[in-house]
Amino acid sequence: MMLAIENLHVYYGGIHALKGISMEVPEGSIVTLIGANGAGKSTTLRTITGLVRPRQGSIKLKGRDISRLPTHQIVQSGVAMVPEGRKIFRNLTVRENLMMGAYHRSDASAVQRDFEYVIGLFPRLEERLSQKGGTLSGGEQQMLAIGRALMSGPSLLCLDEPSLGLAPLLVREVFKALESVHDEGRTILLIEQNARAALKLADYAYVLETGVIKMQGKASDLLENEDVRKAYLGG
Amino acid sequence: MSNLLTVVSVGVLFVFLWWANNNLDQFALRIMRTGAVYIVAAVAYNLVNGITGQFSLGPNGFMAIGGYAMALLMLPLEQKKFVWFLEPQMWPFNSFSLPGALFVVALIVGGLLGALGALIVGIPSFRLRGDYLAIATFGFGEIIFVLANNLIPFTNGPLGIKGIPEYADIYWCFGSAVVATLFVKNLVNSSYGRAMKGIREDEIAAEAMGVSIFRTKMQAFLVSGFFAAVAGGLLGALVTTVSPSLFTFMMTFNLLIIIVLGGLGSITGSVITAFGFAVAMELLRVMEAPINIGPIHLPGIAGMRMVIFSVLLIVLMIFWRRGLFGQWDFSWNWLLSKIGITSKAAEAISPVEQNGAPRPTATSVRAEAQEGGVLMSLQNLTIRFGGLVAVSDFSLDIKKGEIVGLIGPNGAGKTTIFNIITGQYTPDSGHVFFDGSDITGWRPDLIARAGIARTFQNIRLFGELSVLDNVLVSEHLGIKSSLLTAALGLPRYLSEEREARSRAMALLKLVGLADLYDVQAGALPYGQQRQLEIARALATHPKLLLLDEPAAGMNPEETKRLMTFIRELRDRFSLTIFLIEHHMEVVMGICERIRVLDYGVSIAEGTPKEIQTNPRVIAAYLGEEEG
Amino acid sequence: MNLEALIQQLMNGLSLGSLYALIAIGYTMVYGILRLINFAHGDIFMVGAYCAFFFVAIFRLPWFLSALLAIGLTALVGMSVERIAYRPVRNAPRISALITALGVSFFIENLGLVTVGARPKAFARPEIMAKIVKIGPAAVSAVSIWVPILSVLLLLALMYVIYRTKAGMAMRAVSTDIETTRLMGADVDRIIALTFALGSALAAAGGIMWACKYPQINPLMGIYPGWKAFTAAVVGGIGNITGAMLGGLLIGMVEIMTVAFFPGLSGYRDGIIFTLLLVFLLVKPTGILGESLKEKV
């Protein structure tokens, strides 16, 4: 089991944002966490990466509890995150953004190999290596953010709403890239508002509603499920 | 009752001073007088830094203005000729001087000049953010210092003005301290003080509740400048010499330590620590003999004193930011309740007041409200943030008495539209029409006065203020009495205050928070904080209420109650309601009409049923249906 | 004014401006990553000068070795200040951090007064700096030439670190987005410490060169240069290193040239700089090269 979350309680901005959720991400799988706004999806990722501290519960990465570690140590343990809104370093070049992803790594040749892999995955970035990150379009920034996370050489890749603000065509491109990453054997945890795209990509899915796991199951099953639609739109 | 106690206490104080004047030695008296002067300066300084939360580093400049004004007016003519020996003194000051009996005139003139200085500094400076305001006020203080050092015909430069008669006797010093303390304390407890505290707690929320940010900051600054200058004048007449070195940045630093130690925001604290500081300074000055410890030569305590004080300041900031009294202030009610004489509640709000004296605008007949005329019209609103179009060509009409919902995925631009309506953002193109006026680009406080109130997505309460005070800040826009009337506690203001309090309590009763009226807002549980935000918005007596995710974080039980509550509000106060919400149950349950936003563009409008089955909407939320 | 005097004053302005630039960079770097105005920075400048003085006077070390040691020691002092006084208030309201910085500044100044006394001490400058050199018709102290040269070298070294090393890249990342930098597995605390170390080292170098140019040191010597360097940072665009250099040169030139052309205004020289500061704060707070920041509601 790559990631095992058990009975996680998180308070954020005064609200009891996560009310005892439990979920698992098996090694080599794509798991997605979907749900309406304010459900607590982002909070979950932020807690995994240590930006928010849980009140109760455990988060185990390959059996080791990371829930009380500082963020940089969690990342060094093998978790990489593509944050909501991409959070590219605007003033750094594309190349530097990617290199920041590999900041904590010391093996230069491994870093170089991953660099070439990322460029291969997102050829558009190669043309823009010397450009400042802030000049890229939304879609390019999303690819850069994913590439940057991959440069960390992670065991677990987390993505927070990668489709946000992207045109459908670009969403498709991004998700195709994620599929390819998955085919390489990486484990992916995906938070998404765009439920359909996420469910088509993932193996397993959890549906979060006001801090509680409402539903879970094989992604393909949930894709057909009426209750999922209701969870988003009511009625 | 409180007033009587105050008068009696002041009387007792002056009897004590009379006794002290006749029985204590000069040294002790001098310490007391210095302490009183520091009280005036500290109380003035805390008004700006602690109450209004604006970080000024310039009080030394205002004190200098007062000190020099007093010296130029009061120094006897012969002394003037003697002092200005390098260059002759400037006219008209070299031709007259006031008699000792008019000392108070010199102080008041100095005070007014200090206020003028505050006006000049404040007008350009209050646009600046916290640290920049500090730098700007510091710069002003330094410029005054440079001017004092160089304008010799005016100030006699570094030599200073010597030989000022010691007009600042114990009665003038303490009299000024009493006046300053009472005035500032009254001001702080009044609606004006609450507006200042609102700015300190959350400027954006205060402005949205109708507080004019610039005007309120300026008011605090003017009062502060006045009293700081008075303190400067007193100081000059105490030490009998006015020179640039009396009003260096060191003075500001000392005042900073005083108000931080006493508690930023506690006038009581400032009074106590100001006096204590003056005592400590004088006592330490006595222990002046140099000490030799091994190779270290301590050249007298002067340097050591400052070392200790600066360490004290650092330690306070790291471990004990609240200082001695935090934001607590002494009041007669508090003392009496401690002794068990009266209960706090009875003094604060009488039973009659609890049922509210509603304002005319709030009780329009319900029938009128349902008329269906357009209350607000948003036309072709477009706004960009750094090249990204957040909202594009958005138009919407809202009729009187409607409950309209605005929904859409994350980042669609919903709160941005709210921010345009209430004036936090100005659209790049398009207009907002409200109740017949074009309010596009108006300041948020003017929009609040026009009749639009809102709550915020991330709750923006005035955390340190009580539940009741939070609501009362919104009542400030209806206060007609001037600042002076309020600070002097005149009957005209007191009745306005009473009415405001009763209206506020009625609103609190409505949201079920009346019993918690004196609880600190930040201590409330989340759900009640949301209720309080709604009560605070209602207190501006709006026609249109904007609710930003009112159901966030609520469980199904609370959600149901919220829905009933919103409907009740609309009926009772003849409101029109526009809300953003993600809780579909709420939206579908109470909105008569729903508009859907995606990527800043309207994609659908209709009744709840229509929206739920609209394929475009479903796609926007759940993702494209595709092959 | 004749050509000789003009050349002398230009060199004066250039060297003074370089010194201000060195100090201004420290202000701007710390502001860039922490949004904190480090009021104590000017006093760090003083600490550098005194350290060099003590290494030469008490430990009798060769001058250049003393200078290097002083720079290193001052860097440690800067890091310690950050660790002890600023890190605990990093998440506190901004006002608290500002007040703390003021406290640290007063502490260093008064500790200096208490331990070494208020009387200025003569700073021993190396032979190479004391020589008189001729530029055209003008006789100029070698210091006035060395200071700009050394400053430029230091600045180039700094630019190299910031734009060509991993650590420098991390510093730039932290000033853009501190939280996301954590997500890169970077220990942000260490990067901040490094920033303070670099800024303090530059200020120390500035202090030592200042003492070579104006060879009298006293514990309060950092106050006015500190404020003027801060003005330079604001004028150039706070948060922007190139801006700090530009601003430093500008302020230095303005100060020297104003007094050179209007000797009657020399008593007002500090007031003029402060007025310039106020004007920029009010009219163009982002400075010449700066970028504006908006608050999200």
Instruction: Tell me what pLDDT residue A209 has.
Output: 83
Which pLDDT tens digit goes with each residue over B245-275? 999 998 999 999 999 999 998 999 999 999 9
Which residue has tokens 């996301």?
A: C180
- Give the separation between CA C255 and CA A226, rounded to whole angstroms: 75
Give the closest of A15, A37, A229 to B410, CB-based: A37
Helices (H) and strands (E) in chain A, counts: 10, 10
> Looking at beta carbons, which residues of chain B come within 8 Å of A173?
none
Amino acid at B446: L
Instruction: Tell me what pLDDT residue B625 has.
Output: 53
> Could A75 and C172 be called an inter-chain contact, meaning their C-beta atoms sit closer than 8 Å?
no
- Give the separation between CA B563 and CA C116, rounded to whole angstroms: 72
Range 80-139 of C in CB contact (< 8 A) with B: 85, 88-89, 92, 94-100, 102-107, 109-111, 113-115, 117-118
Which pLDDT tens digit goes with each residue over C10-22? 888 999 999 999 9
Record the tokens describing residue C273, joined without a space: 């700089």
- Per the CB < 8 A criterion, the answer to whether B190 and B126 are in contact is no
Which pLDDT tens digit goes with each residue over C208-236? 999 988 888 999 999 999 999 999 999 99
- Give the separation between CA C208 and CA C123, rounded to whole angstroms: 9
Give the closest of A76, A91, A99 to C185, CB-based: A76
Decide: helix, strand or coil at residue B227. Answer: helix
Residue C116 has pLDDT above 80, yes or no: yes
Residue A103 has pLDDT above 90, yes or no: yes
- Per the CB < 8 A criterion, the answer to whether B509 and B537 are in contact is no
Instruction: Tell me what pLDDT residue B197 has.
Output: 96
The answer to whether C165 contacts chain A (CB < 8 Å) is no
Record the tokens describing residue A197, joined without a space: 């795209």
Decide: helix, strand or coil at residue B473. Answer: helix
Contact partners for chain C, using 3 or more CB pairs closer than 8 A, are A, B
Cα dist from C275 to C195, C271, C283, whole Å:
30, 6, 12
> Could C297 and B127 be called an inter-chain contact, meaning their C-beta atoms sit closer than 8 Å?
no
- B99 Cβ contact list (under 8 Å, min separation 6): none
Query: Domains of chain A: which residue ranges?
Result: 1-78+155-164+186-235, 86-153
- Give the separation between CA C76 and CA C7, rounded to whole angstroms: 38
The upper half-sphere exposure of residue C47, i.e. CA atoms within 13 Å in the direction of its Cβ, equals 27
- C-alpha angle with apex B357: B356 to B358, nearest 5 degrees? 100
> Could A229 and B585 be called an inter-chain contact, meaning their C-beta atoms sit closer than 8 Å?
no
- C33 Cβ contact list (under 8 Å, min separation 6): C171, C174, C175, C178, C191, C192, C195
- Per the CB < 8 A criterion, the answer to whether B573 and B593 are in contact is no
Amino acid at C226: G
Beta strands in chain A (DSSP E): 3-12, 15-25, 30-34, 56-61, 64-65, 79-82, 156-160, 187-192, 204-209, 212-218
Instruction: Tell me what pLDDT residue B385 has.
Output: 85
The residues pairing with A24 across neighbouring beta strands, listed in sequence order, are A4
Give the closest of A17, A193, A229 to B409, CB-based: A193
Range 102-121 of C in CB contact (< 8 A) with A: none
The DSSP secondary structure of chain C, one letter per residue, reads --HHHHHHHHHHHHHHHHHHHHHHHHHHHHHHHH----TTHHHHHHHHHHHHHHHHHTT---HHHHHHHHHHHHHHHHHHHIIIIIGGGTTS-HHHHHHHHHHHHHHHHHHHHHHH-SS-EE----HHHH-EEEETTEEEEHHHHHHHHHHHHHHHHHHHHHHHSHHHHHHHHHHH-HHHHHTTT--HHHHHHHHHHHHHHHHHHHHHHHHHHS-EE-TTTTHHHHHHHHHHHHHH-TT-HHHHHHHHHHHHHHHHHHHHH-GGGGGGHHHHHHHHHHHHHHH-TTTTT--------
> Could B303 and C107 be called an inter-chain contact, meaning their C-beta atoms sit closer than 8 Å?
no
Which option is the CATH number for A1-78+155-164+186-235: 3.10.20.30, 3.30.450.20, 3.40.50.300, 3.40.50.1980? 3.40.50.300
Confidence (pTM): 0.87
Q: Specify whether the backbone of C243 is left (phi greater than 0), alpha (psi in -120 to 50) or beta.
A: alpha
> Could C173 and A92 be called an inter-chain contact, meaning their C-beta atoms sit closer than 8 Å?
yes
> Looking at beta carbons, which residues of chain C come within 8 Å of A79?
none
Give the closest of A165, A197, A235 to B588, CB-based: A235
> Could B526 and A15 be called an inter-chain contact, meaning their C-beta atoms sit closer than 8 Å?
yes
The DSSP secondary structure of B15-60, one letter per residue, reads HHHHHHHHHS-HHHHHHHHHHHHHHHHHHHHHIIIIIS------HH
> Could C184 and A75 be called an inter-chain contact, meaning their C-beta atoms sit closer than 8 Å?
yes
> Could B584 and A14 be called an inter-chain contact, meaning their C-beta atoms sit closer than 8 Å?
no
Range 566-605 of B in CB contact (< 8 A) with A: 582-585, 587-588, 599
Question: Which residue, C72, C62, C205, C200, is CA-closest to C128?
Answer: C62
Q: What is the mean pLDDT of residues A135-148?
A: 90
> Looking at beta carbons, which residues of chain C come within 8 Å of A146?
none
Give the closest of C89, C111, C115 to B318, CB-based: C89
Task: Tell which wins on pLDDT, B330 or A94.
Answer: A94
> Could A14 and B459 be called an inter-chain contact, meaning their C-beta atoms sit closer than 8 Å?
yes
Alpha helices in B129-169 (DSSP H): 130-150, 152-155
Residue A194 has pLDDT above 90, yes or no: no
- Per the CB < 8 A criterion, the answer to whether C231 and C276 are in contact is yes
- pLDDT-based confidence at C285, cuts 50/70/90? confident
Instruction: Tell me what pLDDT residue B354 has.
Output: 43
> Looking at beta carbons, which residues of chain C come within 8 Å of B415?
297
- For A152, the closest chain C residue by CA position comes to C184
Record the tokens describing residue B519, joined without a space: 């609880």
Cα dist from B590 to A126, B38, B60, B107, whole Å:
52, 59, 58, 63
- Per the CB < 8 A criterion, the answer to whether B211 and B462 are in contact is no
Decide: helix, strand or coil at residue B331. Answer: coil
Which residue has tokens 């004028």?
A: C235
**What is the nearest CA distance from C211 to chain B, expressed in angstroms?**
23
- C296 Cβ contact list (under 8 Å, min separation 6): none
Q: Chain A: which residues have CB within 8 Å of chain C?
A: 49-51, 70-72, 75-76, 80-81, 83, 87, 89-92, 96, 99-101, 103-104, 148, 152
CA dihedral C42, C43, C46, C47 (to 10 degrees): -130
Instruction: Tell me what pLDDT residue B290 has.
Output: 60
The upper half-sphere exposure of residue C216, i.e. CA atoms within 13 Å in the direction of its Cβ, equals 4
Instruction: Tell me what pLDDT residue B89 has.
Output: 76
Instruction: Tell me what pLDDT residue B299 has.
Output: 55
Instruction: Tell me what pLDDT residue C210 has.
Output: 92
The answer to whether C3 contacts chain B (CB < 8 Å) is no
The answer to whether C184 contacts chain A (CB < 8 Å) is yes
Cis amide bond preceding B92, omega within 30: yes
Q: What is the mean pLDDT of residues A199-222?
A: 89
Instruction: Tell me what pLDDT residue A72 has.
Output: 93
Query: What is the β-pairing status of strands B291-293 and A156-160?
Result: unpaired
Question: Which residue, B454, B442, B497, is CA-closest to B194?
Answer: B497
- Per the CB < 8 A criterion, the answer to whether C106 and C233 are in contact is no
Size of interface A-C (CB pairs under 8 A): 61
- Per the CB < 8 A criterion, the answer to whether B23 and B354 are in contact is no
The answer to whether C183 contacts chain A (CB < 8 Å) is yes
Instruction: Tell me what pLDDT residue B74 has.
Output: 87
C-alpha B163 chain-centroid distance:
40
Q: Taking all residues of chain C, what is their mean pLDDT, rounded to a whole number? A: 88
Candidates A196, A212, A228: best to mutate against B (most CBs of B within 10 A) is A196
- For C179, the closest chain A residue by CA position comes to A51
Q: How many beta carbons lie within 10 A of that of residue B170, not counting itself?
A: 18
Which pLDDT tens digit goes with each residue over C117-159? 888 888 888 877 778 888 777 788 888 888 999 999 998 999 9
Q: Taking all residues of chain A, what is their mean pLDDT, rounded to a whole number? A: 89
> Looking at beta carbons, which residues of chain B come within 8 Å of A194?
622-623
Query: What is the β-pairing status of strands A187-192 and A56-61?
Result: unpaired
State ipTM: 0.91
Alpha helices in B451-555 (DSSP H): 467-475, 483-487, 491-510, 526-538
Amino acid at B189: N
Residue C176 has pLDDT above 50, yes or no: yes
- For C89, the closest chain B residue by CA position comes to B318
Give the closest of A50, A83, A91 to C180, CB-based: A83
Give the closest of B411, B622, B626 to A195, CB-based: B622
* Range of lowest pLDDT (A87-101, B292-306, C164-178, C263-277): B292-306
Q: How many beta carbons lie within 10 A of that of residue B445, not counting itself?
A: 23
Q: What percent of chain C has pLDDT over 70?
A: 97
Size of interface A-B (CB pairs under 8 A): 70
Which pLDDT tens digit goes with each residue over B434-475? 998 999 999 999 999 999 999 998 889 999 999 999 999 999
B609-612's contacts with Cβ under 8 Å and 24+ in sequence apart are B609/A235, B611/B407, B612/A233, B612/A234, B612/A235, B612/B588
Instruction: Tell me what pLDDT residue B536 has.
Output: 96
Give the closest of B131, B147, B296 to C115, CB-based: B296
- Per the CB < 8 A criterion, the answer to whether B86 and B152 are in contact is yes
Residue C3 has pLDDT above 90, yes or no: no
Candidates B245, B291, B307: best to mutate against C (most CBs of C within 10 A) is B307
Q: How many beta carbons lie within 10 A of that of residue A49, not counting itself?
A: 23
Instruction: Tell me what pLDDT residue B291 has.
Output: 59
Instruction: Tell me what pLDDT residue C103 has.
Output: 93
Instruction: Tell me what pLDDT residue B366 has.
Output: 37
Instruction: Tell me what pLDDT residue B300 has.
Output: 56
> Looking at beta carbons, which residues of chain C come within 8 Å of B128?
281-282, 285
Instruction: Tell me what pLDDT residue B293 has.
Output: 63
**What is the nearest CA distance from A107 to chain B, expressed in angstroms?**
38
- C-alpha angle with apex B220: B217 to B224, nearest 5 degrees? 140
Q: Which residues of chain B fall short of a pLDDT of 50?
A: 343-370, 626-627
Q: What is the mean pLDDT of residues C54-77?
A: 90
Instruction: Tell me what pLDDT residue B420 has.
Output: 95
- Give the separation between CA B45 and CA B274, rounded to whole angstroms: 11
* Range of lowest pLDDT (A110-114, B407-411, C78-82): B407-411
Q: What is the mean pLDDT of residues A73-97?
A: 92
The residues pairing with B544 across neighbouring beta strands, listed in sequence order, are B452, B576
Amino acid at B329: D
Instruction: Tell me what pLDDT residue C295 has.
Output: 39
First to last CA, chain A: 37
Amino acid at C25: I
**What is the nearest CA distance from C29 to chain A, expressed in angstroms?**
15
- For B609, the closest chain A residue by CA position comes to A235
Give the closest of A72, A101, A152 to C187, CB-based: A72
Contact partners for chain A, using 3 or more CB pairs closer than 8 A, are B, C
The upper half-sphere exposure of residue B253, i.e. CA atoms within 13 Å in the direction of its Cβ, equals 24
Which residue has tokens 């057909």?
A: A224
Question: Which residue, A97, B273, B550, is CA-closest to C170?
Answer: A97
| DSSP annotation of B210 | T
